[in-house]
Amino acid sequence: MSSTHSVPRRPRARRARLVAVFTAAIAIGASMLVGSGGGVAGGAITTPPFQLKDVGSLTLATGATNNVVRRDASNVVLSTQTLSGGGSCSLSTTPTLLAFATTKGVPGLTSGTIGDKTKGSGTDCGLVEAGGSVSIKLGSQISTLEMRSFALDIETRKNLKLVLTASLGGVTTATFELRTGSSIVAGQGSTTPGSAIFNCNGASSSDPNAADRDNCRFSGNVLADKLVLTTVVGEAGLSGGASGGVSQPSVIGLTDIDGLLDCESTPNHGDFDLSEGGNGTPEVGLVRKDNLDPNQPCQLIPVDLNTSIQNGDPQVQFLKDLTSQSSAAFTMDVTWPFEASQNPPPPTQFQFVDGHDIELQLCAGTPVYDPTTGAFEGPSELLDSDPSNDAVIPDQEPSLPGRQYSCYYFQTTSLVGNGTVELFQQIYVIGDYISHR
């Protein structure tokens, strides 16, 4: 027996078109501001506003101790990578957590600063001069993870202009600039940490013995597996608190995503973009629709879809970074694990990030279906160009930015055994999302 609403169900997913093959430029860009404190040798170690899971951090410490330490989200140490400059000051390390490279010479480490060794074993080892760069890339132990933020201790000299280029899979995802001294241009940039152009210290120039007075904390949000620091003007070195004072170790926040999703018009064509679960957990197939706001051109967004059993209850969690895509909409086909028969079946519960449980109900408004495929496109009130009728679709979590809304547009309950049923639901989602039964 079954109870149904709306249109026939879609076929179940194959592991579908997750857009993790980076064939187009990613326009994620430098995003929301992070951090606090002054620009010179200051600013707290920050965490970004991404609504993506926190899987810990990497801490680069230099000076009395030279290493990279990986911690999980609970701050428990998982592994350590040691660094050494040796007598020649060439950086020696096994790149299990971070791999270092330079465009000139070889990576060097001296006096607690990592740079580009192009000459002897002196100060040059720990500096990147104009025209050179040093890169840091996730190492062999964590090659399946991604960076989600950076807060770097930068040694600055000679009116520095430093460009940080973040990339994922070889494609640039964000750029940031750090400027000091005469490289600061009036009317350009900001003294707010996390800005795309960060004006750190107007007085910072060329004193190599200034302790931490010429160190800058360079921070921002990224989605990347590699950071390249290119010196355009002056000289710079990557440090980890070696100058003392208020200088701090460099910290890279980590996340773990399934990949990047594009809008439905490109490239879905009716298939699931992402599928997850089964084997005792909810089985989910997901499709990203076109953005609801025509003033938000579609951009690739990082997503993470998980299914699990939590305290005996099946759960679906869908997280993504919507920094510049707050009107992104999605549909999910969810086949829940077998459960005891009840008539009527209990409602599915869901919540948005930092929200509270809400009962999943039939979609409000007027449904729109693709005339060719029969796929649910969304409520017409949100799809049309008339903003006056948008209120028909409630904002279910007004405390969060943008509209948060979820509903089911089709469901069926099938009897699969004596007193056992299987629930299938097709769900519409705007916002980060956790549902359970």
pLDDT in the model for residue 51: 61
Indicate if the pLDDT at residue 34 is higher than 50. Answer: no
Rounded average pLDDT over 282-304: 89
User: Is pLDDT at 12 greater than 80 in this prediction?
Assistant: no
Looking at the fold, whether 136 and 112 belong to one and the same domain comes out as yes
State whether 194 and 251 are in the same domain.
yes
229 vs 48, residue with greater confidence? 229
**87 & 209 share domain:** yes
Looking at residue 13, what is its pLDDT? 34
What pLDDT score was predicted for residue 383?
A: 93
Instruction: Output the pLDDT for position 205.
Output: 52
Clarify whether residues 415 and 399 are in a common domain: yes
Return the higher-pLDDT residue of 324 and 65.
65
- What element of type H or E holds 383? helix 380-383
Please indicate, yes or no, whether residues 264 and 179 belong to a single structural domain of this protein. Answer: no
Q: Is residue 39 part of a domain?
A: no
Best CA proximity match to 224, nearest among 15, 30, 24, 47: 30
One domain, residues 126 and 11: no
Q: If you average pLDDT over residues 13-34, what whole number do you get?
A: 32
DSSP 296-320: S----EEEEEEEEEETTEEEEEEEE
Q: What does the pLDDT average to over 408-425?
A: 94
- Among 244-253, 335-344, 378-387, 406-415, the range scoring the smallest mean pLDDT is 244-253
Q: Is residue 26 part of a domain?
A: no
Q: Does 150 fall in a domain?
A: yes
Each residue of 108-121: b (16+ CB within 10 Å) or e? bbbbbbbbbbbeee
pLDDT, position 433: 86
**Does residue 87 belong to any structural domain of this protein?**
yes
173 or 21, greater pLDDT: 173
Looking at residue 362, what DSSP letter applies?
Answer: B
Q: What is the pLDDT of residue 210?
A: 62
Q: Cβ distance 55 to 257 under 8 Å? A: no
Residue 238 lies in a domain: yes
For residue range 247-268, list pLDDT tens digits in order: 899 999 999 988 888 887 654 5
What's the pLDDT at 154? 94
pLDDT at site 162: 97
Does residue 33 sit within a domain? no
| Phi then psi dihedrals of residue 376, to 5 deg | -70, 125
Average pLDDT, the chain: 83
Each residue of 320-329: pLDDT tens digit? Answer: 876 678 889 9
Tell me: pLDDT of 293 over 60: yes
How many angstroms separate the CA atoms of 351 and 354, rounded? Answer: 8
Give how far Cα 133 sits from Cα of 103, 128, 280, 289, 393, Å.
Answer: 6, 6, 49, 40, 51
The answer to whether 48 touches 150, Cβ cutoff 8 Å, is: no
Query: Domain range for residue 387?
Result: 4-18+258-436
pLDDT for 41 beyond 80: no
Q: What is the pLDDT of residue 283?
A: 96
One domain for residues 275 and 156? no
pLDDT tens track for 270-288? 578 888 998 899 999 999 9
Beta strands in 46-91 (DSSP E): 57-61, 67-71, 77-82
Q: Is the pLDDT reported for residue 87 higher than 50?
A: yes
**Least confident residue range of 50-54, 188-192, 252-256:** 50-54
> Number of structural domains, the chain?
2
Least confident of 70-74, 87-91, 119-123, 163-167: 119-123
Over 50: is that where the pLDDT of 37 sits?
A: no
pLDDT in tens, 236-250: 999 999 888 778 999
- 178 & 144 share domain: yes
pLDDT at 201: 79
For residue 95, tell me if it sits in a domain: yes
pLDDT at 198 over 60: yes
On whether the CB atoms of residues 251 and 280 are closer than 8 A, the answer is no
Instruction: Scan for tokens 């609801």, then name that residue.
Output: 292
Residue 429 lies in a domain: yes
Of 239, 255, 271, the last residue of a domain is: 255
Confidence of residue 118 (pLDDT cuts 50, 70, 90): confident
pTM: 0.74
Percent of the chain with pLDDT over 90: 57
Is residue 157 within 8 A of residue 129, CB to CB? The reply is: no
C-alpha dihedral (318, 323, 324, 328), degrees to nearest 10 = 20
Confidence bin at 46 (pLDDT 50/70/90): very low
- Per the CB < 8 A criterion, the answer to whether 153 and 241 are in contact is yes
